Structure 1
Amino acid sequence: MNTQETIITWATPVFFALIALELLVARWRGRKVYHASDAINSLGLGVISQIVAVFSKVLTFGIYAWFVSHVALFRLPADSLWVWVSALVLYDFLYYWLHRAGHEVNILWAAHVVHHQSEDYNLSTALRQTGSGVVLGWIFYLPMALIGYPLEVFVVVALIDLLYQFWVHTELVGRLGWFDRVFCSPSNHRAHHAVNDRYLDRNYGGILILWDRLFGTFIEEDDTDPPIYGTRSPLRSWNPLWANAEVYWATLKDARHARRWRDKLLVWIKPPGWRPADVAARYPKPDFDIARSRYQPQLSRLMIAYAIVQFALLLVMAVHFLDMAKRLPPSGLVAYASFLVLSLTALGIWSEGRPMGRWLELIRLGATAGIVVLTGGWFGVPPGGAALPAALLILCLLNVLALIGVSAHGRMQEARPAH
């Protein structure tokens, strides 16, 4: 694994420990800040973003390395403290503009929207990341390459900026006085995630909130207008593939329906929500309602428990995938990644309580057993006798039995007359 993958892999248990702590503190305070399906969806999207990163780093870091080697104006030393400090400040400045553009340019919002879809605001939301941001996001950081910041410096400061932002995604930390005036803080970032008119498209800073103060995008959280989270076009789904695709698909439809070629282009580069007049007239959308009910399909406790257990197993596989990223051949890496993404999608549809989810889950478990039988083990794990395949097949069988039992219980609950 490279440095970034190593740090993220080791940071994962710390993330989950802090999520558990947040749950305990919220319960102690008598507050409900987590909903199981929402949290699983957020964490699953974070897993998918890391899977995509294994493949996309060739693009992002490769382009950056080429610019540093062939176009850079200077050769900055990687062993100098001022280079590291200035790199972190410059990266955070460029992040501000990428983040701001992600709210002001529709094609960039199509990627960034994933991070805002959750109607909860907690530490799991921090891990809810896009799988498509890599397509255009790298462009904003080319100034660092042109100046001559070494690739290893860029990679580390990018990771520092990302990891810093984890802790600000919580409702349990209040105002922090002077800190709120200088740095991105929980209070500042709560306002950023809100869909209230007052807070819309504000507080873009990653580490420093000074950029927002400097460029006129700062807003202070107001206790008289508590933040409402989510997006103005709610996702209303636990399908992670749809979460990544929804805005792209909506924009494609508007571009296809637009009569003027100019409008077919403008729908991509105008602010989110902009639609050609002829399209809006022929295909109207409902007005935004801040008092809308949250998306929360009713699941039995057994169904929720099943989803949590299955996600935990998939999370272990995802960590194993990251560990094997340097060792598996490309075909094996693509197969493993596809299995994980489709598995998380099947689990998401299951969590929506739809009958199709049961069949997708059964197919997923069957495919898992099929991989064990065909390979005699698991991706990248060297053959070691019959113990591993037997254990994996028994686990698949237990999961199938659990699925059948939980599904039967759910159907009994649905058939039971209401009193």
Structure 2
Amino acid sequence: MSEIVLYVLPIFLLLMLAEWAWGRRRGHNTYGLADTLSSLSQGLLSQAVAVVTPLFQTGLYAAVHSRLALLPGTPWQGAVGALAAVVMYDFCDYWLHRTSHESALFWAAHAVHHQSEHFNLSTALRQESLYSVMGAPFFLPMALLGVPTAQYALAGIVVLFYQFWIHTEHIGRLGWLDRVLSTPSNHRVHHAVNPCYLDRNYGAIFVIWDRLFGSFTEETEPCVYGTVKPLASWNPLAAVGQFYAELWRRMRATPRWADKLRVPFKSPGWMPPGAAPSALPIEARLSQPRFDPPTARRARMAAVALFVLTAAATGVWLWFADDLGAAANLSAAAALATGLWGVGALLSRPA
């Protein structure tokens, strides 16, 4: 998986550069330097977590498949079997994605992907570090039906890579495709905090699931991106821990143990008795300017240089990660997190 990402990453970066140039030419630049580096930092962190949590990436799936598969082998061979695996993966991913918006504990893992207040191709690479760990059980029905582990992993890559192109403001409505597939228009809705758009359009490839299960909404008004409570930080570790800290605050704020225990399992917006709301009223949130405080020029240049060095070192690590021991990979992951924290600290220096 890591090697595939390394092969395709240059293509993603070229497409991001093309989107940036197109936006500049059209007078609608959707990129911000600090935001882009923040999103790419989360992508690197997610790859690091994938390396150090192989049990939750494919190990659990492989164990279930080897012991409990009902239809192993023949049904999943050939192009038809591969296509069926992608459709099944997308269906399972719909329910994981929907759960991640309806359960506070799952939202805590997923929120990272929504924290950017921009919407561009770099947002697609803003992957969650703990999402695949939390979501591993959702794909076990595929193992029970006998989809081979390698085919499951390939289907996951197809679904993940498909979603790259739908993170853009430069592609409008696409007619009948908007009724069948997850398209940029449909996915802009998903990333918006407008009240009419919240928790809609979960499909990764197919938006048909949303139409079948009542979670589809068309794009009808300009989108305001981000989370209801903005992150307001370039610290990548703070981004990962933001909503976990919020859940802890809510649990501490209520005296009843029953309410404390309900907090992780209620909706992300549920407030227990005694806990004051932490988010702005939605009207104020929609009119709030994007978080983009001015940063000293030297600090920005240093942040870019440190990020490039960290990313290059990460690429080398990912290439050899399968041949390294657990201790070496954990050490490399810690070094990566430290480097990315440094990038965030530089971007936070006031002008």
Q: TM-score normalised by the shorter chain: which range applies?
A: over 0.9
2:51 corresponds to which residue? 54
Give the superposition deviation at 1:286.
4.0
1:175 aligns with 2:173: yes
1:299 corresponds to which residue? 295
**Do 1:297 and 1:353's aligned partners in 2 also have CA atoms closer than 8 Å?**
no
Give the superposition deviation at 1:261.
1.7
Q: Does the residue aligned with 2:287 lie in a helix, a strand or coil? A: coil
CA deviation digits over 1:64-94, x for unaligned, max 9? Answer: 0110011122213353332211111111111
1:96 corresponds to which residue? 94
**Do 1:191 and 1:203's aligned partners in 2 also have CA atoms closer than 8 Å?**
yes
CA distance in 2, matches of 1:313, 1:132: 24
Unaligned 5+ segments in structure 2 are: none
What amino acid is the match of 2:189?
A
CA distance in 2, matches of 1:285, 1:170: 27
Structure-to-structure mapping, 1:16-415, within 5 angstroms: 16-77=13-74, 78-222=76-220, 225-280=221-276, 286-288=280-282, 289=284, 290-353=286-349
Q: Does the residue aligned with 1:181 lie in a helix, a strand or coil? A: helix
Q: Does the residue aligned with 1:191 lie in a helix, a strand or coil? A: helix
What amino acid is the match of 1:293?
P
RMSD over equivalenced CA pairs, Å: 1.4
CA distance in 1, matches of 2:132, 2:181: 26
Give the superposition deviation at 1:312.
1.3
CA distance in 1, matches of 2:213, 2:83: 22
1:417 corresponds to which residue? none
CA distance in 2, matches of 1:147, 1:285: 43
CA distance in 2, matches of 1:125, 1:134: 17
CA distance in 1, matches of 2:308, 2:296: 19
Structure number with greater CO (CA < 8 Å, separation at least 6) is 2
Give the superposition deviation at 1:300.
3.2
Q: Which moved more, 1:59-68 or 1:187-196?
A: 59-68
**Do 1:75 and 1:148's aligned partners in 2 also have CA atoms closer than 8 Å?**
yes
**Do 1:46 and 1:127's aligned partners in 2 also have CA atoms closer than 8 Å?**
yes
Give the superposition deviation at 1:279.
2.1
Q: Which moved more, 1:307-316 or 1:328-337?
A: 328-337
Give the superposition deviation at 1:24.
0.9
Give the superposition deviation at 1:326.
1.8
CA distance in 1, matches of 2:60, 2:102: 25
CA distance in 2, matches of 1:81, 1:328: 34
CA deviation digits over 1:318-352, x for unaligned, max 9? Answer: 11110120223332222221111111012102211
CA distance in 2, matches of 1:216, 1:200: 13
- Whose radius of gyration is greater, 1 or 2? 1
CA distance in 2, matches of 1:213, 1:286: 31
CA distance in 1, matches of 2:279, 2:42: 27
**Do 1:76 and 1:83's aligned partners in 2 also have CA atoms closer than 8 Å?**
no
What amino acid is the match of 2:42?
L
Name the % identity: 42
Q: Does the residue aligned with 1:195 lie in a helix, a strand or coil? A: coil
What amino acid is the match of 2:4?
I
**Do 1:72 and 1:145's aligned partners in 2 also have CA atoms closer than 8 Å?**
yes
**Do 1:56 and 1:134's aligned partners in 2 also have CA atoms closer than 8 Å?**
no
Give the superposition deviation at 1:307.
1.6
Give the superposition deviation at 1:176.
1.0
Q: Do the aligned partners of residues 285 and 212 (structure 1) sit closer, same or farther apart at CA in structure 2, a change above 3 Å counting? A: closer
What amino acid is the match of 1:164?
Y
CA distance in 1, matches of 2:297, 2:171: 30
What amino acid is the match of 2:19?
E
Q: Do the aligned partners of residues 285 and 36 (structure 1) sit closer, same or farther apart at CA in structure 2, a change above 3 Å counting? A: closer
**Do 2:189 and 2:200's aligned partners in 1 also have CA atoms closer than 8 Å?**
yes
CA distance in 2, matches of 1:10, 1:126: 17
**Do 2:43 and 2:126's aligned partners in 1 also have CA atoms closer than 8 Å?**
yes
Q: Which moved more, 1:324-333 or 1:59-68?
A: 324-333
What amino acid is the match of 1:257?
A
